[in-house]
């Protein structure tokens, strides 16, 4: 995470005696990336975080993947997946995936179980609703438009908190997700040209200190899933400090980078992950050259697949293609894509785009998953052949 935080009670020096009111030692837990060679946080538990009383294999909901064949652009209508609701972890419906990242959607109306993903970070985007993210670090409250980044192996629970269900896009990485390196100093501070900074980032501000015994936690790991029963509740932390913790950032705090002529997608980059990036398209002033064409030019990303989740406003380049709230477009490597017919001409003279979208560009091909196939608009690929 970009900056250091200290929450709750911690001793003045690391790895020194820190005693509870009854005289016993608090139990330290160092959570760190890349062995002991990268970001970490040090947590202080009332009980041993290693104490389990049972472990058994767990069978999660499954999904299948098929290649994008024939190779063509796809349009997925996520709101067609609406059912009676589910929990925001086990209820995820997987749309697209490769060996680096899995992209899922869920309409959630109930709390998730306690869950730990030991295979990679999660970046959650709230399309609508309100959500409480509980973890040993404390609570993060999220609202529509928030990204929430949950580091690898963080035990957490996702709790919808409003009267309406939560609509959630989940990006699950096979590695770590963070701000683009080009926006950070060598010491991790956001630089002046970054479209967001530390003031925009929220972290937990108080430990939960939950009591409980024989607490179940589902763990996804490199060999499958296991259900542990912990002797004591893992949210028993009295304090922690460090750089590694769940954090939230609102897409509405992303400051767009604009220019006289059309700016390419890297200016919208918000996060980077292993072999993929996440970008934010937000309402913004657009190109101010007198002869500018504000919508994107036709382009062929020879190294990446482009997935775009439409989450608000009016996406000018896709008018007439059937794109709607909650739509996902997939434009694969090997296909030249661009604005819909007539969009370039219509955009001339426009000085503001009122659009909100989340883009995931992957550097390995994305496969289609069961739920993606189930909500596909089969006519999308042919919309460029229509007259504008």
Decide if pLDDT at 349 tops 90: no
Q: How far is CA 186 from CA 58, 182, 189, 249, 261, in A?
A: 42, 10, 8, 22, 31
Q: What is the pLDDT of residue 18?
A: 98
Q: How are strands ordered across the β-sheet holding 5-8?
A: 5-8, 237-242, 40-45, 27-32
Q: What is the pLDDT of residue 317?
A: 61
Computed over every residue of the chain, the mean pLDDT equals 94
Burial 69-95 (b: 16+ CB within 10 A, else e): eeeebbbbbbeebeeeebbbbebbbbb
Q: What is the pLDDT of residues 285-310, one digit of tens each?
A: 999 999 999 888 888 888 999 999 99
Q: Phi first, then psi: what are they for 267, rounded to 5°? A: -70, -15
State the number of CA atoms in the 13 A half-sphere of 373 facing the CB. 12
**Long-range own/partner contacts, residues 39-43 (CB < 8 A, 24 or more apart):** 39/1, 39/242, 39/243, 39/244, 40/242, 40/243, 40/244, 41/137, 41/240, 41/241, 41/242, 41/243, 41/244, 41/245, 42/10, 42/14, 42/240, 42/241, 42/242, 43/136, 43/137, 43/237, 43/239, 43/240
> Which three-class secondary structure state does DSSP give residue 344?
helix
Antiparallel, parallel or unpaired: β 130-135 and 224-232: unpaired
From CA 176, how far away is CA 165, in angstroms rounded? Answer: 28
Q: Give the pLDDT band (50/70/90) at residue 388.
A: low
Q: What is the pLDDT of residue 226?
A: 98
Q: How many CB atoms lie within 10 A of CB 301?
A: 17
Report residue 7 as tokens: 């929450």
Q: Phi first, then psi: what are they for 210, rounded to 5°? A: -85, 140
Report residue 305 as tokens: 């697949």
Q: What is the pLDDT of residues 183-202, one digit of tens each?
A: 999 999 999 999 999 999 99
From CA 107, how far away is CA 167, in angstroms rounded? Answer: 5
Q: What is the pLDDT of residues 138-175, one digit of tens each?
A: 999 999 999 999 999 999 999 999 999 999 999 999 99
First-last CA distance in the chain: 46
Q: How far is CA 125 from CA 148, 309, 336, in A?
A: 7, 10, 28
Q: Per-residue pLDDT averaged across 117-133, rounded?
A: 98
Report residue 92 as tokens: 């995820």
Q: What is the pLDDT of residues 64-95, one digit of tens each?
A: 999 999 999 999 999 999 887 799 999 999 99
Q: Per-residue pLDDT averaged across 354-377, rounded?
A: 96
Decide if pLDDT at 320 tops 70: no
Q: What is the pLDDT of residue 42?
A: 98
Q: What is the pLDDT of residues 221-245, one digit of tens each?
A: 999 999 999 999 999 999 999 999 9
Among candidate residues 282, 359, 355, 371, the one with its CA nearest the CA of residue 328? 359
DSSP labels, 128-149:
ESEEEEEETTEEEEEETTEEEE
From CA 347, how far away is CA 242, in angstroms rounded? Answer: 47
Of 21-35, 110-124, 243-257, 281-295, the poorest mean pLDDT is in 281-295
Spatial neighbors of 46 by CB under 8 A, at least 6 apart, are: 20, 26, 27, 209, 232, 236, 237, 238
262 belongs to the catalytic site: yes
Of 25-34, 89-98, 260-269, the poorest mean pLDDT is in 260-269
Which one of the listed residues 262, 268, 299, 300 is annotated catalytic? Answer: 262
């Amino acid at each position: 995470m970009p900056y250091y935080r200290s929450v709750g009670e911690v001793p003045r020096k690391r790895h020194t005696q820190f005693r509870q009111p009854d005289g016993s030692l608090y139990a330290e837990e160092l959570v760190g990336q890349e062995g002991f060679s990268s970001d970490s946080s040090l947590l202080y538990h009332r009980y041993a975080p290693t104490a389990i009383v049972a472990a058994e294999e767990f069978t999660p909901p499954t999904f299948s993947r098929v290649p994008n064949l024939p190779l063509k652009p796809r349009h997925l209508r996520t709101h067609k997946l609406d059912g009676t609701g589910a929990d925001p972890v086990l209820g995820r419906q997987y749309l697209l995936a490769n060996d680096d990242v899995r992209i899922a959607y869920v309409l959630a109306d109930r709390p998730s179980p306690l869950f730990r993903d030991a295979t990679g970070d999660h970046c959650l985007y709230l399309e609508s609703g309100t959500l409480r993210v509980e973890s040993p670090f404390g609570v993060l409250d999220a609202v529509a438009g928030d990204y929430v980044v949950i580091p690898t192996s963080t035990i957490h629970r996702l709790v919808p908190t409003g009267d309406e269900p939560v609509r959630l896009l989940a990006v699950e990485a096979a590695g770590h997700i963070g701000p683009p390196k080009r926006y950070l100093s060598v010491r991790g501070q956001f630089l002046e040209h970054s479209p967001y900074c530390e003031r925009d980032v929220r972290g937990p501000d108080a430990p939960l200190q939950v009591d409980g015994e024989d607490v179940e936690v589902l763990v996804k790991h490199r060999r499958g899933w296991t259900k542990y029963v912990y002797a004591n509740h893992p949210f028993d932390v009295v304090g922690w400090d460090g750089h590694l913790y769940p954090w939230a950032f609102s897409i509405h705090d992303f400051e767009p980078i604009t220019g006289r002529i059309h700016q390419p997608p890297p200016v919208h980059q918000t996060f980077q992950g292993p072999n993929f990036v996440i970008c934010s398209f937000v309402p913004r002033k657009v190109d101010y050259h007198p002869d500018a064409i504000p919508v994107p030019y036709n382009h062929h990303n020879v190294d990446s697949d482009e997935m775009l989740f439409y989450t608000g406003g009016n996406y000018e380049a896709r008018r007439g293609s059937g794109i709607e709230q909650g739509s996902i477009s997939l434009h694969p490597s090997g296909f030249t894509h661009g604005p819909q017919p007539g969009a370039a001409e219509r955009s001339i003279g426009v000085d503001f785009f009122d659009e909100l979208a989340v883009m995931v560009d992957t550097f390995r091909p994305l496969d289609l998953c069961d739920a993606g196939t189930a909500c596909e608009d089969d006519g999308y690929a042919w919309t460029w052949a229509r007259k504008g």
